[in-house]
Amino acid sequence: MSHNDGDEHWRKPMINSIKINSDAAIFEDSKCYGRAYIIRDHEGQLIEARSKYFQGRLHSDLAEVFGIKKALSWIMMRGCKYVIVESDCLQMVQAIRSSIYGYSYLASVIEECCDMLANLRSKNILFRFVKRSANRVAHYLARHSFSHADRTC
């Protein structure tokens, strides 16, 4: 963990920047998973929130990294500068930061996230781990993705 990690409460990002919180949820009973992200500006105002529900079994790490990848894709499509991306999955934050790849599907998705971050380097992207209490809204959206299968606000 870095000194920027571990917030317990959500905080507004700096002026002229945005914050993206990402999370995923596994539904063992129905063999499904959900992921979500929420994007807010420096005043804490909602820019976009999205949740999506998927059929199929998926390991929680892979679900988390897919959510992070989707958040990074959003940044790339919008060309945003000064973005903070937060996740409550320490293992995936550390994996993406380490840039050490293996020979698994999970490793290939982590590598894609690292490549995306490298392409976004000039955009001042900060990638952080936060505790679940600071990621509450994204967590709620992911946990409730089954009730609103594919929703964007």
Q: Are 66 and 24 in contact (CB under 8 A)?
A: yes
| pTM of the entire predicted model | 0.91
Mean pLDDT for the stretch of residues 28-47? 94
- For residues 46 and 134, give the distance between their C-alpha atoms in angstroms, rounded to a whole number: 16
Cα 104 to Cα 53, 62, 77, 110, 134, distances in angstroms:
24, 11, 27, 10, 30
- State pLDDT tens for residues 70-85: 999 999 998 788 999 9
State both tokens at 83.
């973005």
Cα 44 to Cα 17, 48, 121, distances in angstroms:
10, 12, 24
pLDDT-based confidence at residue 149 (cuts at 50, 70, 90): low
The pLDDT, as a whole number, for residue 68 is: 95
- For residues 76 and 120, give the distance between their C-alpha atoms in angstroms, rounded to a whole number: 7
Give the domains, in start order, of the chain with CATH numbers.
18-152 (3.30.420.10)
- Is 105's pLDDT higher than 70? yes
Q: Are 70 and 98 in contact (CB under 8 A)?
A: no
Residue 122 or 51, more confident = 51
Q: Among candidates 88, 91, 55, 49, which has minimal Cα distance to 70?
A: 49
- For residues 75 and 20, give the distance between their C-alpha atoms in angstroms, rounded to a whole number: 9
The pLDDT, as a whole number, for residue 150 is: 67
Question: How many helices and strands (H and E) does the chain possess?
Answer: 4, 6
pLDDT-based confidence at residue 148 (cuts at 50, 70, 90): low
Residue 123 or 21, more confident = 21
Mean pLDDT for the stretch of residues 14-42? 94
